[in-house]
Structure 1
Amino acid sequence: MTVASILKQKPDRLISVSETASIADVAATLTRENIGAVPVLDTKGEMIGIFSERDVVRQIAREGVAVLTRAVATMMTRNVICCAPEDTVESTMALMTARRFRHLPVRSDGRIIGMISIGDVVKKRVEDAEREAASLREYIVRG
């Protein structure tokens, strides 16, 4: 199975924020959309970073609530690692586990086309394992 199979199960829209959005606005977006991270886009629509719930918490712990008025571009993670739709679910899970990512943008032809979470990856792996177990049971019963 590939990352594309995960994207097919998700809504066909990319939730993102502008590099000039305040941390408070980004936190509101994360809450409203019930997501854990968003790609940060420049004025041309190109991804220049990623910002997560974890980033909000860490920045407030370091500097206090005054950070909520700062632009997301000042605190986002740059040099974002992405996966591709043709990457396997297994390799993506290994990457996310090794690098301790909970969210991973999906890039195709130089553009961000979606975002997957570790929850999406685990769900897909469980579905695949259940489907394989059912196939094996059927094979054994039917001989």
Structure 2
Amino acid sequence: MRTVRQLLESKGPEVFAIGPDAAVIDAIRLMAEKGIGALVVLEPGGRLAGMVSERDYARKIVLEGRSSKDTPVRDIMTAEVATVRMDDVAEACMQLVTERRVRHLPVVAGDEVVGLVSIGDLVKAVIEEQQRELEHLQRYITS
């Protein structure tokens, strides 16, 4: 099974982040500009503060009738974030996103966020692994 390190090597380690004191509207604009559904929220020193997603926006701004211009990200972000490390395997990450019902996992090395894996990255890795196993079995059967 592929590791998080291998996933990041194939997709790149780019992480889009925002500060907790930024206005929610700025977070939504950044997500729209980058075509992504979530941002890592980093304190000024680079420490992981949480995650903010389109889901957070829909539930905590739209449904509550709050202003995205006047509300800081800190007020709607998810502060308790599940994280993974470079040597974790995709299967364990998939279990984590399923159990926690999240779509994004920040990758940490020490206190630093070094990447982000999404449920899409994990599904792709699992499908590729299954395809390799199927091809191996087909070669075994035909030889």
What TM-score results when the alignment is normalised by the length of structure 2?
A: 0.92
Q: Displacement of 1:43 after TM fit? A: 1.1
CA distance in 1, matches of 2:100, 2:13: 27
Task: Name the residue aligned to 2:136.
Answer: 135
Larger relative helix fraction? 1
Matched residue count: 142
Q: Displacement of 1:68 after TM fit? A: 3.7
Letter in 2 for 1:49: G
Q: Percent identity of the aligned residues?
A: 35
Task: Name the residue aligned to 2:72.
Answer: 71
1:120-141 C-alpha deviation (Å, 9 max, x unpaired): 1001100111111112112222
CA distance in 2, matches of 1:67, 1:25: 8
Of structures 1 and 2, the one with the larger relative CO (CA 8 A, separation 6+) is 2
Task: Name the residue aligned to 1:32.
Answer: 33
1:59/1:67 contact within 8 Å kept: no
Task: Name the residue aligned to 2:104.
Answer: 103
Q: Where does the alignment leave 5 or more consecutive residues of structure 2 unmatched? A: none
RMSD over equivalenced CA pairs, Å: 1.4
1:20-68 C-alpha deviation (Å, 9 max, x unpaired): 2111110011111111111111111111111011001112333225134
Letter in 2 for 1:75: I
User: What is the 5 A alignment of 1:1-143?
Assistant: 1-141=2-142, 143=143
